């Protein structure tokens, strides 16, 4: 049986979407094919996103910053937006069955007083991890029912 294809969208495809992609792939790569893209990709993955993922054992060094258009005909069944701008810019994908919006702060712009930029990435990574691992667990549980 073919695995459903999940596309995670963010505007720049440099931070949140890559953290979500790496986390979902680690939690449920046996259940889903996972991709990420952006409506206005920055062209590179933020080094602190890579570092924050590496700290939890996820290697995303091979990730690329892609435009969402390259996935329009890829058989995407679920689209998950992780920022408000991407939610508004998200087109309808042919064959898309599910669409979710789970917004997270943009780590480079979310630094709180007394927090380093890496700390902001870690905080948001942990929020993304909670949501996407719960999604994976729920999907896995539904498959066994």
DSSP 40: S
Q: Is 5 helix (H, G, I), strand (E, B) or coil?
A: strand
Q: Cα-Cα-Cα-Cα dihedral of 65, 22, 78, 85, to 10°?
A: -50
Domain boundaries, the chain: 5-144
Residue, of 144 and 112, whose pLDDT is higher: 112
Per-residue pLDDT tens over the stretch 48-103:
999 999 999 999 999 999 999 999 889 999 999 998 776 666 666 667 688 899 99
Strands (E), 11-138: 33-38, 78-81, 98-101
pLDDT digits (tens, 9 = 90+) for 9-56: 998 899 999 999 999 999 999 999 999 999 899 999 999 999 999 999
At 107, the pLDDT band (50, 70, 90 cuts) reads: very high
Tokens 């679920």 identify what position?
Answer: 78
What's the CATH number for 5-144? 3.40.50.2300
Residues tagged active-site: 10, 83, 90
pLDDT of residue 53: 98
pLDDT at 137 over 90: yes
The whole-number average pLDDT for the span 109-119 is: 96
Rounded Cα gap, residues 117 and 51, in angstroms: 12
Structure tokens at 145: 């029912």
For residue 124, pLDDT beyond 70: yes
pLDDT at 25: 97
């Amino acid at each position: 049986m073919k695995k459903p294809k999940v596309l995670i969208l963010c505007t720049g495809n440099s931070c949140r979407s890559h953290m979500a992609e790496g986390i979902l792939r680690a939690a449920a790569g046996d259940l889903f094919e996972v991709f990420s893209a952006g409506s206005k990709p920055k062209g590179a993955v933020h080094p602190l996103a890579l570092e924050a993922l590496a700290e939890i054992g996820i290697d995303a060094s091979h990730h690329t910053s892609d435009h969402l258009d390259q996935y329009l005909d890829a058989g995407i069944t679920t689209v998950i937006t992780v920022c408000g701008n991407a939610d508004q810019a998200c087109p309808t994908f042919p064959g898309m069955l599910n669409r979710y919006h789970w917004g997270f702060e943009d780590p480079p712009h979310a630094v709180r007083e007394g927090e380093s930029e890496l700390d902001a990435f870690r905080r948001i990574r942990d929020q993304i991890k909670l949501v996407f691992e719960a999604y994976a667990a729920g999907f896995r549980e539904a498959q066994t029912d």
